Chains A and B, each alone.
Chain A
């Protein structure tokens, strides 16, 4: 159905059978992609789906291991992004990669200024800059420093620069992530103008409504493979979410027997917790022996919610109570003191102490809770590390080796062990199974079920719907930085979750 009529021109940039391998990890496998003149082509996928790898290959930052890239039908092999740029492919990133302390005009023409006898002709540059920006509906003082303008205007300048330099393909990598609604609209107007000029525009974002508002076609990647390319007028938001999360159209509800809802007394209660610009105020109770799953697309505020709960970010509204007592949590140290644990999404950045030993990585939170002067001696450390390493089946040659030498799954188990060692009452797991192999995957899921039986309250954030459905007593759904639904009982089914995630986006299409 997607090739019946082409409302856009000929393919400008094509990728055929692209494959890319990093070490043991296959980032892309046989991916086809094409961007046509005069179309906006959205590229969607969850973290690790291969979006950025594909973009880096298209823009010359990486070289493909398999397959080929064609520009106007002819195979090309870009050495680096500069060469890709020279041949017509410009990229604009979320963060503006320009010089805030130079003028708008200088930024537009940096590196290819019109010169006479080797001298830069400032007046010519400024006149040209005004001319160029006028075509983007931007009438600003081009002599002013770029940094004195809003991010939206800086973005448009970055786009103008990319288009002036390249002029065939424009890659927009999450350009709207740091913009407010009006600014997004302004950006969209610019993109519409460029589309009419016949550019092929590749648009990467996490915001589904923006995809539907702006794009003609969408290509969805999942786990390094292409799920499909669809014309947006032919699909609904629910279809797109399904494709992103890897759900068949005919999936059904698997009764798991654990979906009866809360059992024990309330362990933690968050009441109106929120932070402007991060997460809208939400209220949530977690009971002893309960797993609450958090579903939602990337950027929907899932991680932000967890960070507020753990005091990583400071909430500007709301209260927390633990076991019925009001508790102040203004930083992670206080959260740990209150018996909270948090396995963060980015293991390497926020979780693992790479150079420290497995043993030290396991005992560190307990030691932080005990304080500086009640040091665990070596025997106690060995015992604690040994106990949890065995309980979680952490496979390490010995517990004195640096934790960075362990596999991803074992590192994840080390962080889990770290929190179990403080005997927590409430544990937050943010994407606990991301980036680990299938075996370890199943083990983590088993561990979650075991911890529930032990009476812990758990909050588990995951993009894997099958998983969330399998272990959650309740599921909360995040959308646009807001808690929009709480599902329990019969509603704990992938179909219901997908619908809740996609709901208001359907109207935007």
Chain B
């Protein structure tokens, strides 16, 4: 146990987060200043948490999907659909809570659709979810009839910009979702089943695991998370922008999961580490913005840091750390490997 805790503390993600925060602080000495104002906390760090919340929420759902050796490219589009549904409903006079419930239900339905394509039709996840990634944005535009639907509903605005217990609402939602999801997978056998299906779906079947039901649940959950993130983004800008809401965020979510150490090949996963990954990404984004560099640097710096983290996570790095001389492999073994 002791050893496990030690290796936990030495994970490269922590080092990366600390390094990013440190650089932010060097570039912008006021980075860690936090003030209390109007009953809530303000400051750059709070900003990172707040801005990173949507991706963190997506990453929670994405972690489960990727752990099953899948991927969900549609979450960005599902965000747009959820926002569009909620915004259209409140402007049409429906109660806000009903609009929120409808948006969440739509997200769940989108996830179910993905799950059905992946399991019952046995499509490759990347293709199955690509369908909704493309079609979803169209659906969202149909809902909003091609315009940006703005609203002044206090409930939706609270979800996007309000505060709860001194923290921005998105942060509270993300935190609650991450904690609940972690408990749900670790206090039940779900986590183990997800890992088993991700490591070896055939063996999971032989061991009596109903991987179809499991996969459908996992994709439905990812759709639900996307709907939550969509509500936050819509509430933040007080409107539903079918074209831009959640645009490319699926990639950030995948990135967050990978930075968090969950392999795209499925298997072992950690929801808290994925959330941490989302925060690393957002800390970089915010750092570049507040330090006065032009935003164009953002993508380049982001890629550099990500490559660094991935190299640190790789088996090659582990070998180098262990200072084990690389054994010469036989030619045949090299050919079959990978």
Q: Please report A residues at the B interface, Cβ cutoff 8 Å.
A: 22-23, 62-63, 310, 312, 331-333, 335-337, 342, 344, 349-356, 360, 364-365, 367-376, 418
Using a CB–CB cutoff of 8 Å, the interface residues on chain B facing chain A are 187-190, 192-193, 195-196, 199-200, 202-210, 267-268, 330-333
Pairs across A and B, CB under 8 Å, 28 listed: A23-B333, A312-B206, A332-B206, A333-B210, A342-B206, A350-B203, A350-B206, A351-B206, A353-B196, A354-B199, A355-B199, A355-B267, A355-B268, A356-B192, A356-B195, A356-B267, A360-B192, A360-B195, A360-B196, A364-B204, A364-B209, A367-B192, A367-B193, A368-B208, A368-B209, A372-B189, A372-B190, A373-B188
Is B188 touching A372 in the complex (CB atoms < 8 A)?
A: yes
**Smallest CB gap from A377: residue in B:** B187
- Chain B nearest CB from A210 CB (Å) reads 30
Once the chains bind, are B207 and A375 in contact (CB under 8 Å)?
Answer: no
In the complex, A336 Cα to B204 Cα: how many Å?
Answer: 12
Q: How far is the CB of B184 from chain A (nearest CB, A)?
A: 10
Expressed in whole angstroms, the Cα–Cα distance for A332 and B200 within the complex equals 15
Least CB distance, A262 to chain B, in whole angstroms: 28
Chain A residues near B209 (CB-CB < 8 A) = 333, 364, 368
Instruction: List A contacts of B210 (CB < 8 A).
Output: 331, 333, 368
Residues of B within 8 A of A374 (CB): 189
Within the complex, the shortest CB–CB distance from A393 to chain B, in Å, comes to: 22
A365 B207 Cβ-Cβ under 8 A? yes
Contact A62 B332 (CB under 8 A): yes
| Cross-interface CB contact of A356 among B196, B205, B208, B331, cutoff 8 Å | B196
Chain A residues near B206: list those with CB within 8 A: 310, 312, 332, 342, 344, 350-351
Chain B neighbourhood of A22, CB < 8 A: 330, 332-333
Known contacts A23-B333, A333-B208, A356-B267, then 9 further A-B pairs from the complex at CB < 8 Å, ordered by chain A residue: A335-B208, A349-B200, A352-B203, A355-B195, A360-B195, A367-B189, A372-B190, A373-B188, A376-B189
- Shortest CB–CB separation between residue B271 and chain A, in angstroms? 17
A residues near B331, Cβ cutoff 8 Å: 63
Are B189 and A373 touching (Cβ within 8 A)? yes
In the complex, A333→B207 CA distance in Å? 7
- Chain A nearest CB from B186 CB (Å) reads 9
Q: Please, how many angstroms separate the alpha-carbon atoms of A63 and B334 in the complex?
A: 13
**Chain A nearest CB: distance from B95 CB in Å?**
34
Indicate if the CB atoms of A356 and B188 lie closer than 8 Å. no
Identify the 9 closest CB pairs spanning chains A and B, nearest first: A336-B208, A368-B208, A375-B189, A353-B199, A365-B207, A368-B209, A355-B267, A333-B208, A367-B189
B188 and A353 form a contact (CB under 8 A):
no
**A352 CB contact (under 8 Å) in B189, B200, B208:** B200
C-alpha gap A373/B210 in the complex (Å) = 14
B189 pairs with A370, CB closer than 8 A:
yes
- The residue in B202, B203, B330 that gathers the most chain A C-beta atoms within 10 A of its C-beta is B203
Q: How far is the CA of A364 from the CA of B202 in the complex (A)?
A: 13
- Please, how many angstroms separate the alpha-carbon atoms of A23 and B331 in the complex? 11
When distances are taken between beta carbons in the complex, the residues of chain A under 8 Å from B204 are: 353, 364
Chain B residue contacts of A310, Cβ below 8 A: 206
Contact status of A332 and B205, CB under 8 A, knowing A62-B332, A356-B196 = yes
Chain A residues closer than 8 Å to B205, beta-carbon distance: 312, 331-332
Determine whether the beta carbon of B333 is less than 8 Å from that of A356: no
Contact across chains for B207 and A332 when beta carbons are under 8 A apart: yes
With both chains docked as a complex, state the minimum distance between the C-beta of A295 and any C-beta of chain B, in angstroms: 23
How far apart are A426's CB and chain B's nearest CB, in angstroms? 14
Q: Which among A333, A342, A368, A373 has the greatest number of chain B C-beta atoms within 10 A?
A: A368
- Give, as a whole number of angstroms, the nearest-CB distance from B5 to chain A: 13
- Known contacts A336-B207, A354-B199, A418-B207: does B332 contact A372 (CB below 8 Å)? no
User: Which of A62, A332, A372 is the one whose CB lies under 8 Å from B208?
Assistant: A332
Once bound together, how far apart are the Cα atoms of A165 and B205, in whole Å?
Answer: 44
